[in-house]
């Protein structure tokens, strides 16, 4: 069984690039919609099932758990990137 390659191993380095890669390659959204200010529901057109799929993909890629309460506060790609970068900061402080 082939192992899943991390997005960082595919030349996708920043948190934003990794999130955009997930949305584009794994979930099939158009690149022109994937800017940091894009709102998941209103601009990208995601419904609640799409958002759950995205959260699962992001959790797997970044090795984090996004609690439902936190996920509800994440409305844009930029919000998600900021939350993920904040998690990295917390993990590096420990």
pTM of the full predicted structure? 0.82
How far is the C-alpha of 19 from the C-alpha of 36, rounded, in Å?
10
Residues 29/44, Cβ–Cβ less than 8 Å: yes
Rounded to an integer, the average pLDDT of 74-92 is 87
Cβ distance 8 to 19 under 8 Å?
Answer: no
pLDDT tier, 2 (very low <50, low <70, confident <90, very high otherwise): very low
Q: Of 47, 50, 68, 79, which one is the catalytic site residue?
A: 47
Q: Is 47 a catalytic residue?
A: yes
Domains annotated on the chain, with CATH: 11-93 (1.10.1200.10)
Convert the pLDDT of each residue in 12-48 to its tens digit. 689 999 999 999 999 999 999 999 999 999 999 999 9
């Amino acid at each position: 069984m082939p192992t899943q390659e991390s997005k960082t191993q595919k030349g996708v380095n920043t948190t934003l690039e990794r999130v955009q890669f997930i949305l584009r390659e794994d979930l099939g959204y158009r690149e022109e919609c994937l800017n940091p200010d894009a709102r998941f529901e209103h601009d990208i057109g995601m419904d609640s099932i799409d958002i759950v799929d995205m959260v699962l993909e992001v959790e797997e890629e970044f090795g984090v758990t996004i609690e439902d309460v936190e996920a509800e506060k994440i409305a844009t790609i930029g919000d998600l990137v900021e939350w993920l970068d904040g998690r990295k900061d917390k993990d590096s402080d420990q």
